[in-house]
Amino acid sequence: MTNFLSLADVNDLDALIQSGRDAKANPFADQHLGKNKTIGLLFFNSSLRTRLSTQKAAQNLGMQTMVMNVGQDSWGLEMEEGVLMNGDKAEHVREAAAVIGRYCDIIGIRAFAGLQDRVSDYQEQVMHQFAKYAGVPIVNLESATRHPLQSLADCITIEEAKLTARPKVVLTWLPHFKPLPQAVGNSFAEWMNARANAGKVDFVITNPEGYDLAPEFVGNARIIHNREEAFAGADFIYGKNWSSYEQYGKVLTMDPSWAVTMDDMQRTNNGKFMHCLPVRRNLKVSDAVLDSPQSLVIEQAANREWSAQAVLKEILKGM
Ligand code: CP
């Protein structure tokens, strides 16, 4: 593996999931791989889990870590080519990426969607500009359209918790008053479709009308707009809010009946609740669900360390 920008960079998903589980069982087995290597983690947006779990994973592998909040700790970065830089961005990505690539052996980047321009967001400009100019592997720490380290942690969590060979996994939209990116929902759908194509899960998406994800992410998943029908018999309920893809970046409804409650969970096959966190309690999901034994959210977040470790290990092995 060179870059880890999306599922397309994964050769063997089963092996990568197993590698994460192996790291969890034996975190320090591969410390030699990262000796004298440095990872730089660049955040254009806030983070708790990604920031800490990726640092921890790198340290488990013997790496040194450097973390920077872009635009706060550093200069603002211009991504467009050939522009007159007379605005608020003092440095171009061409120099910034090249320089950071001299200090770091791997660069992780978090850069969310702006939600103003769908074409621009879905071009993944920040990831591609860094991949073009850094000269070292790039790891996606959540981009405009994807959050693959989260999706790998989600796959690990489902593998650990599943009670049947081919569980029913339901991605459900949750209400929120702010427009949020589609990245987590897109990415989860992309990875679950891969698992479904391999016969590992039965994957369903439920969301209100107007909230269908981009067709390339929906893939072969069944979209069921009736959430009660979708929840029936589910083994895993994966909650997430996203703004509309069709009316790009818009909040079309805040219908509170889409928040997950224990009544909803009772329609499932004693299903588990998952969410990538952070989550707004009682807006998106009830206290009762989050505090119940059916909630996997803490274990899911804990597995972010092992998903990051599996990916970094794969990159380090190729150096
Ligand atoms: N799930 C996730 O990526 O969490 P953070 O935004 O806190 O990193």
pLDDT score of 67: 98
CA of 182 to the centre of ligand 1 (A): 14
pLDDT band for position 14 (cuts 50, 70, 90): very high
Ligand 1 closest atom vs CA 277: 1
Strands (E), 88-235: 91-92, 106-110, 138-140, 168-173, 202-206, 222-223
pLDDT score of 116: 98
pLDDT score of 163: 98
- Give residue limits of the domains in the chain: 7-146+304-317, 150-301
Q: How far apart are CA 182 and CA 276, in angstroms?
A: 13
pLDDT score of 12: 98
pLDDT score of 202: 98
Comparing CA positions, the residue from 303, 311, 310, 10 lying closest to residue 157 is 303
Residues belonging to the binding site for N(2)-succinyl-L-ornithine are 142, 176, 240, 280
> Best mutation site among 48, 187, 238 for ligand 1, i.e. most ligand atoms within 8 A of its Cβ?
48
Write out residues with Cβ below 6 Å of ligand 1: 47-50, 142, 150, 276-278
The mean pLDDT of 69-97, rounded to a whole number, is 96
pLDDT score of 9: 98
Ligand 1 closest atom vs CA 147: 3
The mean pLDDT of 289-309, rounded to a whole number, is 98
CATH of domain 7-146+304-317: 3.40.50.1370
Evaluate whether 7-146+304-317 and 150-301 have a shared fold.
yes
Low-confidence winner among 30-34, 69-73, 293-297 (lowest mean pLDDT): 69-73
pLDDT score of 68: 97
The answer to whether the complex's ipTM is over 0.85 is yes
pLDDT band for position 232 (cuts 50, 70, 90): very high
Residues belonging to the binding site for carbamoyl phosphate are 47-50, 75, 110, 147-150, 276-277, 304
CA distances from 81 to 6, 72, 96, 137, 309 (A): 24, 22, 14, 22, 34
Q: Superfamily assignment of 150-301 in CATH? A: Aspartate/ornithine carbamoyltransferase (3.40.50.1370)
**DSSP class of residue 209?**
T
Q: Which two tokens stand for residue 272?
A: 């588990």
**The pTM is what?**
0.98
The mean pLDDT of 15-33, rounded to a whole number, is 98
> Best mutation site among 43, 45, 47 for ligand 1, i.e. most ligand atoms within 8 A of its Cβ?
47
CA of 303 to the centre of ligand 1 (A): 12
The mean pLDDT of 200-222, rounded to a whole number, is 98
> Best mutation site among 112, 299, 304, 305 for ligand 1, i.e. most ligand atoms within 8 A of its Cβ?
304
